[in-house]
Amino acid sequence: MREIRVIGDPVLRTPTEPISEFDRDLRRLIDEMMESMYAADGVGLAAPQIGVSKKLFVYDVNGRKGHVVNPELTIDDPEEVLDEEGCLSVPGRDTGKPLYAPTPRAAGVSVRGFDRLGRPVRLKARGLLARCFQHEYDHLEGTLYIDRLSKEAARKILLQAP
């Protein structure tokens, strides 16, 4: 299990590098990320959140679980959906639990990438899974969900963060 990095850590604001080796180390990293995500009661986790600046995220949303290496995200349905969103890397200073705010996201997305063995993966998502994919993909670009909020909403979150 790995420690979850929190806002202020530069790795969270650094765009990630593609993964080129589909080896035992990658499989171990994926397993550690899943373990870390479950330990923190999350539904998704991107590699930068554990200090690894690589293009990889894991997820487990409503029974759909897996990982995507070197993901590419495409918006299929740009209708904006506003719903509560939080992040393991943006915890409350007093509670240590994610801070939530209504966050705009696209209604439907597709993700292309690879699995742990280098085999192509294609996934389509709507609802919470689409939100999760967009959230984790943002992490790989050095973006946090608070960047998608109004300045006032982001300020309220940051005042409660460590």
pLDDT tens digits along 97-107 = 999 999 999 99
Q: Mind listing the domains of the chain with CATH numbers? A: 10-160 (3.90.45.10)
Closest CA to 36 of 55, 14, 59, 19: 59
Taking the CB of residue 28, how many other CB atoms lie within 10 A of it? 11
C-alpha span between 97 and 9 (Å, rounded): 17
User: Is this structure's pTM higher than 0.85?
Assistant: yes
Residue 85 phi, psi (nearest 5): -145, 145
pLDDT in tens, 13-62: 999 999 999 999 999 999 999 999 999 999 999 999 999 999 999 999 99
- Which tens digits make up the pLDDT trace of 35-47? 999 999 999 999 9
Contact 57, 41 (CB under 8 A): no
Q: Catalytic one among 72, 80, 136, 152?
A: 136
- Contact criterion met (CB below 8 Å) for 123 and 114: no
- Within 10 angstroms of residue 61's Cβ, the number of other Cβ atoms is 17
For this structure, is 136 an active site residue? yes
Q: What pLDDT digit, counting tens, does each position of 114-154 carry?
A: 999 999 999 999 999 999 999 999 999 999 999 999 999 99
| Res. 80: pLDDT tops 90 | yes
